[in-house]
């Protein structure tokens, strides 16, 4: 199957420095295609990219922050990213966003492949 990662960038301009908690909150919708949901690895990206990057040619690099369980449709899902947020606020030049990398791709809602496989 195809491999799909979801990369997200955040504009932190004007947001507070050193908050006590920052949560990345996601709200999934059903795929309506017979696929099943899957857990995702969450990465803090270290390579620069934008929406015009050659997605098939991009060599994603970063640090794994953890794994979130497979989502439940129409239910908020959150992950605490306070340390990553504070790191970006202290040095905005390293704010390259987060990637959600699904852990499987066999008829799954999220599909994933990476250089380690």
pLDDT in tens, the chain (117 residues): 566 788 899 999 999 999 999 999 888 777 666 667 788 899 999 998 888 876 667 788 999 999 999 888 888 888 999 999 999 999 999 999 999 988 887 655 443 334 343
Q: Which residues contact 71 (CB under 8 A, 6 or more apart)?
A: 26, 28, 37, 77
Is-contact 96 2, C-beta < 8 A? no
**Strand runs labelled E in 1-51:** 6-8, 23-26, 40-45
Q: Which two tokens stand for residue 60?
A: 């994603």
The residues facing 80 across adjacent strands are 23
């Amino acid at each position: 199957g195809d491999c799909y990662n979801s990369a997200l960038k955040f504009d932190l301009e004007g947001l507070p420095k050193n908050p006590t908690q920052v949560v990345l909150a996601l709200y999934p919708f059903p795929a309506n295609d017979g696929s099943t949901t899957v857990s995702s690895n969450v990465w803090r990206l270290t390579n620069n990219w934008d929406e015009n990057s050659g997605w098939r040619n991009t060599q994603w690099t970063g640090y794994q922050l953890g794994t979130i369980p497979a989502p439940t449709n129409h239910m908020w899902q959150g992950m605490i990213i306070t340390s990553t947020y504070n790191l970006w606020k202290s040095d905005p030049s390293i704010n390259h966003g987060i990637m959600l990398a699904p852990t499987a791709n066999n008829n799954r809602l999220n599909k994933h492949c990476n250089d380690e496989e």
